[in-house]
Amino acid sequence: MTGRGERLDFLDDGRGLAVLYVVIFHTVFVPAIQYPRPTKVFIEFGGSGVILFFVISAFSLCYTMPKHFSHERPVLSYAVARLFRILPLYYFMLPLTIWRDWVWRDMTFDWGKILATVFFTFNFNPQWVTGIVWASWTIGVEMPFYLLFPFLYFPLRTVWEKIIIAIIVVWAVYAFDQYVIPLISDLVLAQRYSHYNLLHHFPVFLIGMIAFDVYQYLKTKSVDRSIGWLISCLGLSLIWITALNKYAKTAFEMDHLTAIGYATLLIGLSISPIPLFSNLITRFYAKICYSMYLWHPFVIFTLSPAYRAIYAMPISLWLKLGACIALTLSIVTVVAWCSFQWIEKPGQRLGKIFLKRVSGRRQTVHAPAE
């Protein structure tokens, strides 16, 4: 296992897998292209890549929190790390999306929604929950969780406390879906808000925190690699079962079972990497996953005529699907790499400079007089 203070390769593997899965999913469903029947379960479950992102997010916050709170300004260190990771690219994409929808789609947004999008409160309004930037509903979930995370991390010191809170929140989600969601008269809007609201995904984050505690415990033990493979197989089996029952109506949300499956897989990979999941490709895409996630809907929308041209060709459905996925990945990869180099990295450097200067100013203010 990787020691504290280093990058955790298995988390990077998970980030890479998650973003690739989401991109494949949207390549099929945004332009609504056909796909071979044997790929049905795999492709239709691609949206669950977001669940994997949420599990990794909570896990990595637990992992990095001691570093922030060893800093002389711990709250600022934590806030700067989160804000300068998210804001530069997000605030670049926001006006670009508003312009694109105005020019290409003859759409405008009222100032209330724009302000809610700027200040990350749009998740709390059922009509605005998807945000303005495509696929940014996840950021509407993540940002409030970042705010709440310290209030979970410090009081919940044991894995059992986290498990108890997770169970309570799962029942809260059930109650919310049973008694609050029906108050929304628009059935489509109600269904969308039921899936995208922060409370729905709160147990997923708690599962990520629980997975971190399990990882920390296993680090202290001498665990055979075969046990890691067994744990990964258990995780994959649970993921496959939830994929097969994706639309089942149960009190326990399938998204939460999926999160348990992904968390189990991550723990297995932390012990015994599997080359199919742990490789240079997944780690490359982990590096650019945020840019890839925000840019890929824009690219897929732009490539819609190309998809139609490919599907008009006299070739097999497998080749059509493969060509569309290959085209999407090739262009999104280039765009995301440029975005990472020119927007994300400068933004993160700016955050470090800001934190250093603010910390230095505080040291100057509090320096003893000679």
pLDDT in tens, 31-62: 999 999 999 999 999 999 999 999 999 999 99
Q: What is the rounded average pLDDT of the residues 260-284?
A: 97
pLDDT at 303 (0 to 100): 97
CA dist 123 → 68, 126, 318 (Å): 27, 7, 38
pLDDT classification of 2: cutoffs 50, 70, 90? very low
Which residues have CB under 8 Å from 211's CB, separation 6+? 55, 59, 263, 264, 266, 267
Q: Residue 1 pLDDT more than 60?
A: no
Asked if residues 54 and 293 have their Cβ atoms less than 8 Å apart, the reply is no
CA dist 340 → 86, 133, 285, 289 (Å): 12, 17, 11, 9
pLDDT tens, position by position, 146-167: 999 999 999 999 999 999 999 9
How long is the chain? 370
Query: For residue 81, what are its two tokens?
Result: 């790390």
Percentage, residues of the chain above pLDDT 70: 94
User: When comparing pLDDT for 23 and 4, which is higher?
Assistant: 23
Query: For residue 237, what are its two tokens?
Result: 């089996």
pLDDT at 4 (0 to 100): 46
pLDDT tens, position by position, 275-328: 999 999 999 999 999 999 999 999 999 999 999 999 999 999 999 999 999 999
Q: Residue 366 pLDDT more than 70?
A: no
- Rounded to two decimals, the pTM is 0.94
Q: Which residues of 67-106 are buried (b: 16+ CB within 10 A; e: fewer)?
A: ebeeeeeeebbbbbbbbbbbbbbbebbbeebbebeeeeee
pLDDT at 250 (0 to 100): 54
Q: What is the rounded average pLDDT of the residues 8-28?
A: 97
Backbone phi, psi, residue 34, to 5°: -80, 160
Q: Which of 129, 278, 246, 113 is nearest to 192 (CA)?
A: 129
Burial of 118 (0-12, 13-18, 19+ CB in 10 A): middle
pLDDT classification of 254: cutoffs 50, 70, 90? confident
Q: What's the CA angle centered on 258, arms 12 and 37, to 5 degrees? A: 95
| Dihedral, CA of residue 38, residue 39, residue 40 and residue 44, to nearest 10 | 170
CA dist 357 → 77, 108, 135, 197 (Å): 12, 40, 34, 37
**Is 54 strand, coil or helix?**
helix
Q: Residue 364 pLDDT more than 50?
A: no
Which residues have CB under 8 Å from 357's CB, separation 6+? none
Asked if residues 205 and 57 have their Cβ atoms less than 8 Å apart, the reply is yes
Task: Quote the CA–CA distance of 174 and 317 in Å, as a whole number.
Answer: 40
Torsion sign over Cα 151, 86, 67, 231: positive
pLDDT at 172 (0 to 100): 96
Task: Quote the CA–CA distance of 38 and 27 in Å, as a whole number.
Answer: 17
pLDDT at 145 (0 to 100): 98
